[in-house]
Amino acid sequence: MSRHKLVKNLDLDDEMDDYDGGDDYADDDTEENLRLGTIRVREELPEASGHITDRQIQDALWHYYYDVDKSVAYLIKEYMAKPKKEQKKKVAGGFYLFFPTLQVHGGELSSKACSKPFSFAEFFKDTPWLNVPPERQAVFIAPLYPRGGLLGGSSDGAPKMSKLQALAAARKKKAQEQKASESSGVEKPMAGLSLNESASGPSVGSEATEPSSALKQPSRRFPLLKRKDSKPHEKSQKAPPHVEKEPETNDIPMSISPGDLDQAEPSAFASTMFNSRDRSPPKHSANLFTLPYAATATPATTDPFAGPSPDDVVTAAQSKVASGKGGKGPPKTSVEKKTDQIANGVEALKIDDTPKVTSKNLDVLKEFEQKEKKNEANFVVIGHVDAGKSTLMGRLLYDLKVVDQRTIDRYRKEAEKMGKSSFALAWVLDQGTEERTRGVTIDIAMNKFSTNKTNFTILDAPGHRDFIPNMIAGASQADFAVLVIDASTGSFESGLKGQTKEHALLVRSMGVSRIIIAVNKLDTVAWSQERFDEISQQVSAFLTSAGFLPKNVAFIPCSGLHGDNIVRKSTEPGLTSWYNGPTLVEELDNSEPITRALTRPLRITIGDIFRGGVQNPLSISGRIESGSLQTGDALLAQPAGEKCFIKALEVDSEPADWAVAGQNVTIHLSDIDPIHLKVGDVLCSPTSPIKIIKEFTAKVLAFEFLTPMQIDVHRGRLHTPGRIREIVSLLDKGSGAPTGKKRPRIVKPAQLARVIVELEAAVPLEAPARVVLRSNGATVAAGLLE
């Protein structure tokens, strides 16, 4: 039988009869089951369940698969609890209009209006154009944005957040809300409490919180403060009668009365500035025209607790009375009159300016003794021009690894480019472009090195006769001297006539007593011993006549260019065969420590003035001749007479707190204009300032003929023109007693004389100073101030 036939044979009416009311449970036994179930459910259901239809029961049974208990439970839950809703649902079958955030007041949406298709004309029927009555206006509830970012910052607009941040913030907010809803019962009143307390006005609030905080943290007290009570005023406020009983002294109780309103209204300027930001209208000043109806309206105060509370007003009044009583003071007694006199004296005293940089008040000498590990020595390198002074020192520094190989290689390359390859080592010290192109040292070059016994400072002096003043400046800072002599044929002879002699005389007259003679360039004469001996004899004869003791003179044969006998012992067979003495460095090390004038008043001659950077607009460098200093000390600049302060201090280009005589220091000054300082000026302590003089008497050794003539007086960096006003007498070289006739006309070379020198400008000079007198580019005399 085909499917078609089956369909054809289908009795449609019969089939439709069977199908009762669209239900899909058509079977007879199903129907039977349902009927039985319905009866059982009806039995189970309570009395009041009459309104539940059979159909509903059958539905429930069908869904719960004839489980009577479950069906009953469902039916009770569904239809017994809210029977009314059930009915209403039946009645209103129309469509609903939802305005989730838009609540419309007033106009009631009747079910009748809604049952019709919605028309906007109907909705706005009784609403006028413009001037919508407030009750018809929509109220927009602002969404809650997460509070992100820090307090402050750009005050308009919430800070920009990335998507991730926003998500995190939203989650956090959700969690917070949940938490808040859970714990709102307990926490909310507490929060209100704390807020109330903190908002109860600035004056009251601070008092109320203070004792508790003091109780909480007694250990946090400032330990050095010897106060019995950290809040004396608070105490007096709490017990105002106590204050009133204290008028025995004439001091006024210093409590800030609690009634004070410290917060001021903004000034005109401030209110202009913040006007746009202020929500409250600006306060009208009295002289402005105010609108009649606006005059009565007081501007709303932003903080109701800003003003004094009534209690505060009362306490303020009380304390004012108390202070009025206390302030009068007792009548004057005789003691008081005496104190007045003293007060007069005190008033006459001028209050000295306190130093701007705080001094550490170190005992510098003690510090110095504690720190002293190595000797310090400065030596000046002198000699005739082209004797090889700079090269010798360059070699010394290079061999002692003060200068590295790369630098030397660079100098070599550059020197070769200029065709002066032998000058490479000299460039270590000759840094200036002019010095390098000309191949001569022009100004003092300074460098440092240290052996295991002593820290040395090299002062490389220029040899050329045009730069003698610079050489004098260098020699004035030196403890001993290294005299470099060119041993090559002809050079030594010309040198002895030239600056070798003059330099030796000058350093002697500057007070240098020890001298090391480096006989340089011996390699050019094949390390000849005869040459060395010849030079030694001639030079030592001359030095002895100049006043050096033979024990303070040492000769060392060496070669600066090759480095023999400078740091390392020479391996040249020509030299080792006859010389076995110390090298130059060993000889330098043998120099005994020099005693410093530490306890004498401070003196520094300014060697250089420069701008030490942005932080230190004015810095000077120089050697401390005597005394000591530390950061924060006051200094007096002479001859300007200006006071200044030591802001910072550098010894050997490292920051230090103090320095003593003999050290080369860089001082950063404050509180002084650079116009008051010039090279050669003296900085001294304000308590014992150096005198400025225009005339002095000196005991001088003449190198040339001296007559009353125009001269230049040199002392370190300082040099000033002047003239010999008078030759007082000639002196005996041995005893120093006056010899010959008084007031001689002329002083011959190598004679000792006492002269009076008159200066064109006043300069700071002091008694045991050594001065050099020069005239027409040559040194004519040197001597000691008296």
Q: Which of residues 696-715 bind another protein (CB under 8 A)?
A: none
Residues 425-464 that bind another protein (CB under 8 A): none
* Contact string 560-599 vs another protein (x = CB under 8 A): ----------------------------------------
Going by the DSSP 8-state scheme, the letter that residue 552 receives in this structure is G
Residue carrying the six token digits 């459910």: 41
Closest CB 238 distance from another protein, rounded Å = 15
Six-digit token string for 16: 């439709």
Residues 6+ apart with CB under 8 A from 580: none
Please count the other Cβ atoms lying within 10 Å of the Cβ belonging to residue 388. Answer: 29
**Identified binder of another protein from the candidate list 335, 405, 573, 743, rule CB under 8 A:** 335
**Identified binder of another protein from the candidate list 148, 202, 511, 708, rule CB under 8 A:** 202
Residues 6+ apart with CB under 8 A from 565: 556, 557, 558, 559, 575, 579, 583, 584
Residues 27-86 that bind another protein (CB under 8 A): none
199 binds another protein (CB under 8 A): yes
Residues 6+ apart with CB under 8 A from 322: 240, 243, 244, 253
Q: Which is nearer to another protein, 81 or 215 (CB)?
A: 215
- Amino acid identity of residue 591, one-letter, is S
Provide the b/e sequence for 582-615 (b: ≥16 CB within 10 Å).
bbbbebbbebeeeebbbeeebbbbbbebeebeee
* Contact string 260-289 vs another protein (x = CB under 8 A): xxxxxxxx-xx--xx--x------------
Residues 6+ apart with CB under 8 A from 557: 487, 519, 522, 527, 532, 565, 575, 579
Q: Count residues binding another protein (CB under 8 A).
A: 71
Alpha helices in 94-159 (DSSP H): 111-115, 120-123
Provide the b/e sequence for 538-560 (b: ≥16 CB within 10 Å).
ebeeebeebebeeeebbbbbbbb
**Identified binder of another protein from the candidate list 131, 194, 196, 217, rule CB under 8 A:** 217
Closest CB 722 distance from another protein, rounded Å = 33
Q: Which stretch binds another protein (CB under 8 A): 150-158, 456-464, 502-510, 721-729?
A: 150-158
Q: Which is nearer to another protein, 232 or 740 (CB)?
A: 232
Closest CB 636 distance from another protein, rounded Å = 17
Q: Which stretch binds another protein (CB under 8 A): 122-130, 351-359, 502-510, 555-563?
A: 351-359
Closest CB 678 distance from another protein, rounded Å = 17
233 binds another protein (CB under 8 A): yes
Residues 623-682 that bind another protein (CB under 8 A): 670-671
Q: Which is nearer to another protein, 270 or 709 (CB)?
A: 270
Closest CB 149 distance from another protein, rounded Å = 8
How far does CA 701 lie from the centroid of its chain?
54
Contact of 767 with 785, CB cutoff 8 Å? yes
219 binds another protein (CB under 8 A): no
User: Residue 603's beta-bridge partner residues?
Assistant: 626, 684
325 binds another protein (CB under 8 A): no
Six-digit token string for 213: 């905080």
**Identified binder of another protein from the candidate list 14, 108, 156, 592, rule CB under 8 A:** 156
Q: Which is nearer to another protein, 114 or 214 (CB)?
A: 214
Residues 598-617 that bind another protein (CB under 8 A): 617
Q: Which H or E run includes 502? A: helix 499-509
151 binds another protein (CB under 8 A): yes
Q: Which is nearer to another protein, 409 or 673 (CB)?
A: 673
Residues 303-322 that bind another protein (CB under 8 A): 303, 306, 320
Q: How far apart (Å, rounded) are the C-alpha atoms in residues 493 and 486?
A: 9
